[in-house]
Structure 1
Amino acid sequence: MEACNSYYYATRDPLGRDGDFTTAPEISQMFGEMVGAALADVWVNAGKPADAIYAELGPGRGTLAADALRVLRGAGFSGEVHLVEMSPILRDHQARNVPDAQWHDSLQDLPAAPLLLVANEFFDALPVRQFVSGVERKVTIAAGGLAFDRDGEIVEDSPVQEAAVSAIATCLTQCGGVALVIDYGHDRSAPGDTLQAVRGHRYVPTLVDPGEQDLTAHVDFEALGRVAKDAGAAVTKVVTQGSWLNSLGIGARAAALATANPQRVEELEIAVDRLCHEEQMGQLFKVMAIRSPDWPVPAGFGE
């Protein structure tokens, strides 16, 4: 999975109508603006630390960063921008959208500073392991193609995901800040095969054409939260993307944009529906905040 995704992201822009999938920031500017509003609010309530930085993991085309930073800058934030991205193709897009950014190959390379960090659809692309009856499931060659070596009830874990969230939580604990984790997945650990492949906006067999399709797995938010707490960070409850965006005021933002741009009314209604409705992204996608124990709880979590 790691090898396939490394090649996949290094050799194409997978986003948009002509790509393989569309992420929330590409659906509407309102998504990034809500992220920026949440970060601006928590930064202000934390006392506006001047050394705080904006950081994003797997920032796609830089669309989310550009929209979020527009709101953050409006609130007085003037900190540096750091993007963790290995794909040269996506870095080119990001450079156009966020020209003042600095790039890193690994989140471990981020500066030791208070973080305003966003990980939107980042963890789902990190490799998982699968086990059947306690034995790790592997890929083998059969009949000239690839096949799994065993079937049965599957339990997944991801040491790579856990290492990443541990590094984030350690930095937050030591330096301050907050991280927003937004992804599709489940709020409670449970058995099940969630590995999937997408190509041309359709699900396809996971072992066909390795490196030519997007491989992801559902994020286990309970496991991530447990690792973050073990590293000393505070963790909010997990909420759905729909409830989070609605509590932050996406409806009011859509109304304001519609008033200023009457020709966009239908477009804005469709965007809010895609982002928030439970049969679209609203229910499957979850949001969790990890923070320094010294920082306030971000808005939108009902705490």
Structure 2
Amino acid sequence: MAAMKKLLISALVAALAVFFGHAFLKVKKLLLVNRELPMKPLNCHYLKNIEFGAEDITILRDGRAFLSTGLKYPGMPSFSDEPGKMYVLDLLHPKPAPVELKVKGELDLHAFNPHGISVYTDEADDSVYVFVVNHPNSKSQVEIFRFVEDETLVHLKTITHPLLHSVNDIVAVGPEHFYATNDHYFHSETPHFLTVILGLPLCDVVYYSPEEVRVAADGIQSGNGINISPDKRFIYVSDILDHDVDVFERQDGEHLLFIKSVAVGSLCDNIEVDHVTGDLWLGCHPNPLKLINFDPKDPPGSEVCVLLLFKMHNCVGMCNGLKNISCRSSGSRTFTPTSR
């Protein structure tokens, strides 16, 4: 009996040693502990009027950019107790300056907590719809606005659904139609930590329309940024924990067919697509440990990666590593390249 007990204890200790050893290696890989990022000084300047950075930016063909600011997110640093705000910025102006957008309609602005955003232009009447992921009081929902003159957003609709349980980012494909990424499967910390350590791909991409809501793609460790190709054929999803960008092709019925994964080598957050070339611009976190333990005296810095699109015989491919921009910023402001 004593020998059996000793054997069971030894087996338990060995199992725990294997688990914690695997966990250590997984966290080390996730946090990119051994990666060294060369610094590249950039000719940039801070944008005034935005003191606490922007979580997401999306750009129209005419050069106007929409920005979401003031996100409060569990486990991430927060720079202000004020509610979140939306801004618009004319990137073609010689001295671009963000302008805060007024919001009209039935929306609790005191609890406004904007995350990922997307813009859809209706070709029928040129109406511009702004989609915003919102986390009021730690909830997960999507707000749809119409952008009108005088820098105003008119709130049209709030969307909630059980499948939209931990939305991070969104890409609009119609006036009330979109794809959204979920970045968590479990909401409690312990099971979520275990899914990260074990590398379980439990997250998904959800398609929403007024007629149906369903999972369009799954098998993702943590879905973050999402965007669409200029020809509307491909959907791009950044799997921030897997350090890559997944490419999907839209199928009939708005199913997503997995095509390939492109390794980024960094924690890719948001994706913006060049309207002309189709290249992907990725906002990344080169040092996640510093991001979590944020110190304004020793900020984590930022990284911009570019995935260059190339076409050959009707096939679409991507290559990375050709362009890489890094910078050290305070993490609480937004900056733009300075014109030369």
TM-score interval w.r.t. the shorter chain?
Answer: under 0.3
Larger Rg: 2
Higher share in strand: 2
TM-score by length of 2: 0.26
Higher share in helix: 1
Q: Pick 1 or 2: higher relative contact order, CA cutoff 8 A, min separation 6.
A: 1
TM-score by length of 1: 0.28
